[in-house]
Amino acid sequence: MRLAAALRAWERSTRPVDPEFAEAMERRWAGLPEVVRTPGQVMGRHGVGCEGTHGVFPKCNLACTPCYHSRDANRVRVDGGHTVTQISAQMQLLRRERGPRAHAQLIGGEVTLLSPDDHAAALAVMREQGREPMSFTHGDFDEDYLRRLALGPDGHRRFDRLSFAAHFDKLMFGRRGIERPGSEAALNPYRQRFADMFVRLRREHGVRFFLAHNMTVTPANLSEVAGVITSSHGMGFGMFSFQPAAFVGDDRRWHEDYRDATPDAVWAQIERGAGTALDYHVFEHGDVRCNRTAYGFYVGDRWYPFLDGADPRDLRTRDAFFTYLGRVNFTGTPPVTLAIKLVRVMARHPGVPVIGARWLLRTVRRVGLRESLRQRRVRPVTFVMHQFMDAADVDPAWALMQQGRTSNDPHIRETQERLAACHYAMAHPETGKLVPACVQHSVLDPAENAELRRQLPIVQVRRRAAAAGVAAEARGGSACGGGVCG
């Protein structure tokens, strides 16, 4: 009897399609505006979108211009118990509303202000709810912290895999060793140091990793975007994500006309760094006015797309992927289980391996057989651009959406469409609602962080800061030092 039950459980776990996951995607597709129901749309066909935490640790120990956090963010105490409790509630709501599997970002202020144990507990809670977590950091932490996060007190692995997104750009002030970077190139040793920590962790303890590189883009560093890619693509990052600055968050740190760095200008710089045109319509994540994505790989120093949008055969391969594999959940599925799922799909649809073989042959020809054999190593690297919206647009658009109304103003109506198609959701257990990230930062963060400042005051830090201010005043200086005051 036990053997029969085990076999039935194994059969269910290796079924290609999880009915709950498929149902969640159907709901997501039904909620999308018509304008984003394109042939390349991923949401509702191979996933529900990305998720993020909020109100869990808003404080950061670097300063950025611009900063998307509200004025009170750096006046909230980092508290591990609060973080884990809030994340648990948020992930449970996301699990109910968006199904059993999704990518989720452990994001707020600086994640490494949490103790390694609290950080690990937060990741564990996210995994318990079927989320594949990614920790967001400025990367300015020591290797000892990473080891204590990855390994328990007994020295054994807590996790088989860690995902981190590291934000590096010259608009960030207070990084150790380079308080005020003079250029993006000056940060390359710090980018390399960050990636090298994970390489050593994998080599010495077997902890696999995925690293994303994030960068805010303004007119001040727009011309350096291409250089960041060409100099950093071999460091170990699997994704390069660029965010053109928006007028959202702390307005004290708005120092430029950010809209001069247009999405097209930023994407052109990304293409220049990649050394080729990047077709962001092959696969779309929500609204392309918000998100542009290009999937591909490096062979040596040259980047190639997985699918060429100019080749009808590749587009048919994409369509076949959505048809036969779209509802197969790849996120968080153990490799052996995923392999069995894929075998079962191919057994039911014998044409799938033929489609795959033809695609592989075209790709090898595109790269060149000699080059493929000479380089031997293929490095997948994804390019992404996220265009956040200005608070002045999001506020009225969201207010009308809450009333079930569509704006007569074309610009605000476009904002409403983009919010309805948002790829990035945050959960509010107190109301049972999910909100787009732009709404969180533009509309909800100020009041939320003001309340958190009351709940988690930084009493001791204020006393030390006051003493430092008196001393600095006596010297005729400033207590802010490297510009990291909130």
Concatenating the DSSP letter of every residue in 293-330 gives EEEEEEETTEEEESS-TT-HHHHHHHHHIIIIITTB--
Whether the model clears a pTM of 0.85, i.e. scores above it, the answer is yes
| pLDDT score, position 465 | 47
What is the C-alpha to C-alpha distance for residues 122 and 85, in angstroms, rounded to an integer? 9
Element (H, E) at 2: helix 2-13
Strands 378-386 and 291-299: antiparallel
What is the C-alpha to C-alpha distance for residues 152 and 408, in angstroms, rounded to an integer? 57
| pLDDT score, position 87 | 98
Query: Using CB atoms within 10 A of its CB, is residue 301 exposed (0-12), middle (13-18) or buried (19+)?
Result: exposed
Instruction: Name the 3-class secondary structure at 271.
Output: helix
- Please say whether the beta carbons of 76 and 58 come within 8 A: yes
Q: Which phi and psi (to 5°) does residue 410 adopt?
A: -55, -35
The identity of residue 387, as a single letter, is Q
Q: What is the largest CA-CA distance in the chain?
A: 81
How far is C-alpha 95 from the geometric centre of its chain's CA atoms? 18
| pLDDT score, position 182 | 97
What is the C-alpha to C-alpha distance for residues 151 and 130, in angstroms, rounded to an integer? 21
- Please say whether the beta carbons of 310 and 318 come within 8 A: no
Q: Give which of 306, 279, 277, 304 is closest to 293, Cα–Cα.
A: 279
**Regions of the chain where pLDDT drops below 50:** 461-486
| pLDDT score, position 37 | 97
| pLDDT score, position 373 | 65
Structural domains of the chain, ranges and CATH numbers in brackets: 32-314+376-453 (3.20.20), 456-486 (no CATH)
- Please say whether the beta carbons of 390 and 419 come within 8 A: no
Structure tokens at 208: 């696999």
List pLDDT tens digits, range 73-112: 999 999 999 999 999 999 999 999 999 999 999 999 999 9
| pLDDT score, position 327 | 95
List pLDDT tens digits, range 433-465: 999 999 999 999 999 999 999 999 987 544 444
What is the C-alpha to C-alpha distance for residues 437 and 398, in angstroms, rounded to an integer? 12
